[in-house]
Amino acid sequence: MSIESLLIEKITEAVKACYGVEIEGQQVQLQPTRKDFEGDLTVVVFPFTRYSKKSPADTGKELGEYLKQNISEIKDYNVINGFLNIVISSAYWIGLLNAASHCKCYGYADKKTNYTYMIEYSSPNTNKPLHLGHIRNNLLGWAVSEIQKANGHNVIMVNLVNDRGIHICKSMVAWKRFANGATPESTGSKGDHFVGDYYVAFDKEYKKEISELTVQGTDEETAKKQAPIMLEAQEMLRKWEAGDEETVALWRRMNDWVLKGFDATYKLMGVSFDKIYYESETYKKGRDIVLQGLKDGVLYRKESGSVWADLTADGLDHKLLLRDDGTSVYMTQDIGTAYERFQEYKVDEMVYVVGNEQNYHFQVLSLICKKLGFDWADKIKHLSYGMVELPEGKMKSREGTVVDADDLMQEMIDTARETSKELGKLDGYTPEEAEDVYRKIALGSLKYFILKVDPKKTMLFNPKESIDFNGNTGSFIQYTYTRIQSIMRKANDLQIAVADSLTTVEISEKEQSLIKTITKLPAVVGEAGASFSPALLANYSYELAKEFNQFYHDFTILKEENAELRNFRLLLAKQSGEAIKNAMSMLGVEMPERM
184 CB neighbour count, 10 Å cutoff: 19
Look at residue 397 in the predicted model and tell me its pLDDT: 44
Please say whether the beta carbons of 536 and 527 come within 8 A. Answer: yes
Q: Is pLDDT of 348 > 60?
A: yes
Q: Is pLDDT of 393 > 60?
A: no
Look at residue 392 in the predicted model and tell me its pLDDT: 62
Half-sphere exposure of 574 (CA within 13 A, CB side): 24
Q: Find the range with the poorest average confidence among 232-241, 456-465, 474-483, 492-501.
A: 456-465
Alpha-carbon distance of 213 to 232, in angstroms, equals 16
Look at residue 426 in the predicted model and tell me its pLDDT: 75
Q: Is pLDDT of 400 > 60?
A: no
Alpha-carbon distance of 459 to 305, in angstroms, equals 42
Alpha-carbon distance of 371 to 349, in angstroms, equals 19
Please say whether the beta carbons of 498 and 491 come within 8 A. Answer: yes
Measured CA distances, 147 to 113, 270, 320, 431 (Å): 14, 16, 37, 34
Share the mean pLDDT of the chain.
Answer: 93
pLDDT tens for each residue of 157-214: 999 999 988 999 999 999 999 999 999 999 999 999 999 999 999 999 999 999 999 9
Look at residue 365 in the predicted model and tell me its pLDDT: 97
Q: Is pLDDT of 466 > 70?
A: no
Residue type, 186: S
Q: Is pLDDT of 391 > 80?
A: no
422 CB neighbour count, 10 Å cutoff: 8
Q: Is the sign of the CA dihedral 146, 148, 152, 156 positive or negative?
A: negative
Q: Is pLDDT of 40 > 60?
A: yes
Look at residue 468 in the predicted model and tell me its pLDDT: 65
Domains of the chain are 3-88 (3.30.1360.70), 121-399 (3.40.50.620), 408-586 (1.10.730.10)
pLDDT tens for each residue of 372-386: 999 999 999 999 999
Q: Is pLDDT of 395 > 50?
A: no
Phi, psi of 490 (to 5 degrees): -65, -40
pLDDT tens for each residue of 244-258: 999 999 999 999 999
Report the candidate in 59, 56, 94 with the shortest Cα–Cα distance to residue 75: 94
Q: Is pLDDT of 545 > 80?
A: yes
CA Rg, the chain, in Å? 30
Alpha-carbon distance of 517 to 86, in angstroms, equals 18
Look at residue 418 in the predicted model and tell me its pLDDT: 83
Look at residue 463 in the predicted model and tell me its pLDDT: 59
pLDDT tens for each residue of 561-594: 999 999 999 999 999 999 999 999 999 999 999 8
Task: Report the 3 state secondary structure along 410-456.
Answer: HHHHHHHHHHHHHHCCCCCCCHHHHHHHHHHHHHHHHHHHHHCCCCC
Half-sphere exposure of 544 (CA within 13 A, CB side): 34
Ordered DSSP codes for 519-560: TTHHHHHHHHHHHT-HHHHHHHHHHHHHHHHHHHHH--STT-
Look at residue 398 in the predicted model and tell me its pLDDT: 44
Q: Is pLDDT of 113 > 80?
A: yes
Q: How confident is the model at residue 325 (pLDDT cuts 50, 70, 90)?
A: confident
pTM of the model: 0.90
pLDDT tens for each residue of 64-75: 999 999 999 999
Average pLDDT rounded to a whole number, residues 258-279 = 97
Secondary element (H or E) of residue 160: strand 154-161
Look at residue 2 in the predicted model and tell me its pLDDT: 80
Look at residue 297 in the predicted model and tell me its pLDDT: 96
pLDDT tens for each residue of 529-544: 999 999 999 999 999 9
